[in-house]
């Protein structure tokens, strides 16, 4: 259960920023998800973007929270919160927070990002592990989600099946490479309606949890929002899904198919 919720956070949070005008999202966007294990509701997740300040600097504040509910909470309580504070001018993270409560395990980590001092690299300061030198314009695990929506999908309008997208992020105080394989389009039935989506498989590590490298799938709406609609995890003990149940503040109408 612990690893499933960690992966849920990572997948909901796939992104990285680059220069350019924001066109796929805006401040005020909020999406709510239900996390299911078979017919059992195992938890809920919320992803939202607000205005905020860091050291008197105006920023975008993205927050992802995921928690267990009902029977799942009674078996293993989880409350994971990830936050990213992003400079609107550069679309790069200024500060990130990882606040984890999984059973008896707790972890709180703040990382500050310096993208200006060195032209050839970023300087990251973690309150747990100190100073790190990372590639220039490095993203955190949450900010990269918006980059993917705003700077990969809109540009790559002629997606090719099997094409791989590579994004390097900073996660858990280390470089965390993400590899996304485009599978094709799919119509996804959700609680808010049927939505045409782009389907991707992030490459996963085989072992105790996954049998193959393609045991995680997720779907982004095939409209101008490129909103994450659904995620599925096929693991040894069954399948988990994370599905949109509510949304607000989108910059465009969500592409729900009329019956």
pLDDT digits (tens, 9 = 90+) for 6-59: 444 444 444 333 344 558 999 999 999 999 887 788 899 999 999 999 999 999
> CATH number, domain at 55?
2.40.360
Q: For residue 238, what are the CA distances in angstroms to 36, 37, 83, 235?
A: 11, 8, 30, 5
3-class DSSP assignment, residue 69? coil
pLDDT value at position 4? 45
Q: Confirm whether 255 is domain-assigned.
A: no
What are the structure tokens assigned to 167, written together? 């994004």
- H-helix or E-strand spanning residue 216: strand 216-221
Q: Confirm whether 256 is domain-assigned.
A: no
C-alpha span between 196 and 110 (Å, rounded): 37
Among 29, 31, 33, 81, which residue's Cα sits nearest to residue 60?
29
Q: Confirm whether 259 is domain-assigned.
A: no
Q: Are 117 and 145 in contact (CB under 8 A)?
A: no
Domain that holds residue 115: 2-245
Q: Confirm whether 71 is domain-assigned.
A: yes
3-class DSSP assignment, residue 237? coil
Domain count, the chain: 1
What are the structure tokens assigned to 83, written together? 């936050």
Calculate what percentage of the chain has a pLDDT beyond 90: 59
Q: Confirm whether 250 is domain-assigned.
A: no
- H-helix or E-strand spanning residue 8: helix 2-12
More confidently predicted of 215 and 220? 220
Q: Confirm whether 180 is domain-assigned.
A: yes
Q: Are 169 and 190 in contact (CB under 8 A)?
A: no
Average pLDDT, the chain: 85
Spell out the SS3 assignment of 99-147. EEEECCEEEEEEEEEECCCCCCCEEEEECCCEEEEECCCCEECCHHHHH
CA torsion sign for 68, 33, 145, 25 is negative
C-alpha span between 47 and 245 (Å, rounded): 12
pLDDT tens digit string along 164-180?
Answer: 888 889 999 999 888 88
Q: Confirm whether 134 is domain-assigned.
A: yes
Among 46, 114, 55, 118, which residue's Cα sits nearest to residue 83?
46
What are the structure tokens assigned to 71, written together? 């029977």
């Amino acid at each position: 259960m612990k690893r499933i919720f960690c992966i849920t956070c990572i997948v909901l949070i796939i992104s990285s920023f680059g220069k350019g005008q924001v066109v796929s999202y805006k401040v005020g966007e909020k999406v709510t998800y239900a996390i299911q294990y078979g017919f059992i509701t195992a938890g809920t997740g919320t992803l939202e973007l607000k205005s905020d300040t860091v050291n008197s600097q105006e920023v975008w504040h993205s927050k992802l929270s995921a928690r267990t509910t009902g029977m799942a909470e009674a078996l293993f309580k989880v409350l994971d919160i990830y936050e990213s504070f992003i400079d609107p001018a550069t679309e790069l993270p200024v500060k990130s927070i990882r606040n984890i409560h999984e059973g008896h395990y707790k972890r709180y980590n703040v990382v500050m990002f310096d993208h200006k001092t060195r032209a050839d690299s970023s300087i990251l300061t973690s309150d747990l592990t100190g100073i790190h030198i990372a590639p220039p314009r490095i993203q955190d695990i949450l900010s990269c989600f918006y980059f993917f929506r705003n700077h990969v999908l809109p540009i790559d309008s002629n997606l090719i099946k099997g094409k791989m997208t590579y994004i390097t992020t900073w996660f858990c105080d280390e470089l965390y490479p993400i590899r996304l394989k485009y599978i094709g389009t799919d119509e996804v039935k959700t609680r808010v309606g049927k939505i045409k989506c782009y389907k991707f498989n992030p490459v996963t590590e085989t072992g105790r949890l996954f049998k193959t490298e393609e045991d995680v799938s997720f779907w982004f709406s095939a409209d101008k929002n490129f909103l994450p609609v659904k995620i599925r995890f096929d693991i040894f003990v069954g399948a988990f899904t994370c599905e949109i149940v509510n949304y607000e503040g989108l910059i465009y109408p969500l592409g729900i198919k009329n019956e």
